[in-house]
Amino acid sequence: MTECLFCKIINKDISSSIVFEDDDVLAINDINPQAPVHILLMPKRHLTNLEDVEESDLNLLGYIQFRAREIARQVGLDGHYRVMTNCGEKAGQRVFHLHYHLMGGKEMD
């Protein structure tokens, strides 16, 4: 069994508040939101972070950004939002399954 928290969420071994799901991507509400909208988008396939990404994953990365934009529109962020990923512990990564934070709904500094 996987030890990865987000793999467990993807497998539904741990419950989460799902915003969007398809064969490749899961988007969930962050458990500890730092903004009125704080959604995590992750590939269903386990990749540790951007360091794991290969050229064959470029469509997937582009798709995640596109999906972030679509979700931002759906939740009414009206063209103002942040999409970011932390790569590595020193950059603030705490969960080592690639994910993108979609944040908005307040003035971001």
Query: E-strand spans in the chain?
Result: 18-21, 25-29, 37-43, 81-84, 100-104
The structure tokens listed for 107 are 């003035």
Q: Which stretch binds ligand 5GP (CB under 6 A): 25-33, 56-64, 65-73, 75-83?
A: 25-33
90 binds ligand 5GP per the rule CB under 6 A: no
CA distance 56 to 44: 15
Closest contact distance (angstroms) between CB of 99 and Zn ion is: 9
Closest contact distance (angstroms) between CB of 71 and ligand 5GP is: 15
31 binds ligand 5GP per the rule CB under 6 A: yes
CA distance 99 to 70: 16
Decide whether 79 or 92 has the Cβ nearer to ligand 5GP: 92
Taking CB under 6 A as the criterion, the residue among 28, 35, 68, 77 binding ligand 5GP is 28
Residues at the site binding ligand 5GP, with contacts judged by CB under 6 A: 5, 16, 28-32, 40, 86, 92-95
